[in-house]
Chains A and B, each alone.
Chain A
Amino acid sequence: MTIDWSHFTPWTALSGGLLLGLASALFILLNGRNLGISGILGGLIPPKPTDAFWRLAFLAGLFSSPWVFKAIAPSTMLTAPRIDAGVLLLIIAGLLVGLGTRYGSGCTSGHGVCGLARLSSRSLIATLAFMAAGFAVVFIARHLL
């Protein structure tokens, strides 16, 4: 292992993380819910009349974030994302993420942030599993193939 110092951004990573934590904190303390993106989205498939509106309100906020970010962030922070995956790979990856997060009842936010913050052993196992699979797939793709 060697550290990639040229891409290492501890301060924006930490500040962004604090914002994710703040959002999770507000969500449980004001709305009484565990913040998990795959669960919020998955609950809309299919939408249920009594419970769709809070999900849509959350998603509306999430969808406006790039536009607010563009308006307030310094121009040096507005770099284009690096998306190397081609169309076929994106489709396979998307299917796996959609299916896997629903079977595993959570993703990076619900298990990885809120679950670990609640000290849930179930979320710890889920987080270790998806991290291990992520490390393994990148290892295979970048160093074996």
Chain B
Amino acid sequence: MHRLSEFIVGLVFGLGLLLSGMTDPGKVLGFLDLFGQWDPSLAFVMGGAILVAFFAFALAKKRASTFLGGALSLPTSNVIDKRLVIGSLLFGAGWGLAGFCPGPALVSMAAGQEKALIFVAAMVLGMVGFELVERR
């Protein structure tokens, strides 16, 4: 049951990325080009997503377990440190260079986009690099 649910959630999330335009780097960069010809669409993507998720998390905070009877693990960290800020700045810079963030890159790779495959390979390499430095 849990595996089915995770599969469906992944599918719905991917469909959301495709429908919203997030899988088109040209559109993402149009949103990030605040001082040029600005395409505000992605603000609507975030707005719609946060609106629905807000009610779900408000409900989740009041519950001890999930509707499938499993453990509910909400992130607990409130730490705001250099790692968080520098990591996020690096991520944003990479996002602005190519117009891909992790979800859309994975979906585009699955759709057979060669350039997305190159991006994902480099992204996974970056994650491996992080693990190697962290586990020294």
Chain A interface, DSSP helix/strand/loop, else mixed: helix
B contact residues, total (Cβ < 8 Å) = 117
Known A7-B39, A83-B115, A102-B130; judge A16-B95 contact (CB<8 A).
Answer: no
Is there an interface contact between A7 and B41, defined as CB atoms closer than 8 Å?
yes
Select from chain B the residue with minimum beta-carbon distance to A45: B127
Give the CA-CA distance A29 to B8 in the complex, in Å.
Answer: 13
Closest Cβ of chain A to B113, distance in Å, is 7
Q: Is the CB of A122 within 8 A of B48?
A: no
The answer to whether A62 and B25 touch across the interface, beta carbons within 8 angstroms, is no
**Bound: A42/B129 CA distance, A:** 11
Give the chain A neighbours of B90 by CB distance below 8 A. 96, 99-100, 103-104, 133
Q: Which of A72-112 contact B (CB under 8 A)?
A: 73, 77, 79, 81-85, 87, 89-109, 111-112
Could you list which residues of chain A lie within 8 angstroms of chain B, going by C-beta atoms? Answer: 1-4, 7-10, 12-35, 37-38, 41-42, 45-46, 53-54, 57-69, 73, 77, 79, 81-85, 87, 89-109, 111-118, 120-122, 125-127, 129-139, 141-143
**Nearest 7 pairs between A and B by C-beta?**
A98-B126, A16-B20, A65-B14, A17-B48, A61-B10, A21-B52, A94-B122
